[in-house]
A and B are shown apart, each in its own frame.
Chain A
Amino acid sequence: MPELLEIKGLDARYGDFQALYGVDMTVSAGEVVAVIGANGAGKTTLMRSISGLIRNGADMVRYRGNAIGALRADQVAAQGVALVPEGRLLFQSLSVEENLIIGGQMGRKGPWNLRRLYDLFPILEERRNVPATALSGGQQQMVAIGRALMSNPDLLMMDEISLGLAPVIIRQIYEALPGIVGEGLTAIVVEQDIAKALSVSSRVICLQEGRVSLSGKSGDVTRDAISRAYFGV
């Protein structure tokens, strides 16, 4: 039985600039893995590589045993991988509800639909007909998460969902997280806030300058090991 996600020797580049060097990582079904690291360590590149926004060697990324490293993002999405991108990146010409609907346009079966999302984030139902970019930052983040959930993914990746949000909003969003990752969903959470990352995850990976500098159980890693892996000192 292959792991849900298996990354082996992933080298990813933007044009001439190489951002990841030989990254190895596995994610088993049902777990929450946190990816931490300083700015520019390659976290977002890793997310973009898994989702197909950056295309790499086919064998570098395997999903349910299938080589998906070279697929287009829409082909990866069709297999049940969803990304909440850093900076939310909502569709500005679409209303809140349209942003959510387009997330579900592949028609994958699963527990998530508009009704359940509105139960999770009631404010979105109230504001469903306004342009998505007219919402506050926290509400926009809810739309971004909802848009990803609407595809009923098996693997949900969230890239810095607390970036630029007020602490109270961040708490609100993270409080919704257990309800989201129950039901067998597997998640990768990219987070700057290390304490937050450790508290929601079962395993943690730290990236430093494009390489994995630490990998272990979230409960076992020491503060010391993390700061060494984070800053390389």
Chain B
Amino acid sequence: MSEEFKVEIVNPEKSFLVKDDVTEVVVPAFEGEMGILKDHISIISFLKPGIIKILSRSGNENYYVEDGIVEFKNNNLSILTSTIVNLADMDKSKQQILLKEAEEEANKTDISDQSKYLADQKVEVLKTLN
């Protein structure tokens, strides 16, 4: 029980995942990937498109997220996100759909630099999944 902490992922529709035997979580924070271990300092940050890696006693899991907020406090990690997909459930066709959407968004010319950057990120991450 020493090195474990609790992680909770919620999206607007429901509580997506709750796990309390997690040893490490790697989140794609806005300024680079961030690994979180037990007794990390309280932190709030937000996510860019990427992969959340959850390492736990009961196995490792990977999730694809497009945006979100992480809050870590008292060994409770909360991840709030509006789009999340378990990589285990991600098949080729689903990935292609997401990739196509992201590419369309990235090719728009009338968007701000920041949303353009985020869209590019999405494309990049989705491509590496292949």
Binding between chains A and B: no
Instruction: Give me the interface of A with B, judged by CB distance under 8 Å.
Output: none
Instruction: Give me the interface of B with A, judged by CB distance under 8 Å.
Output: none
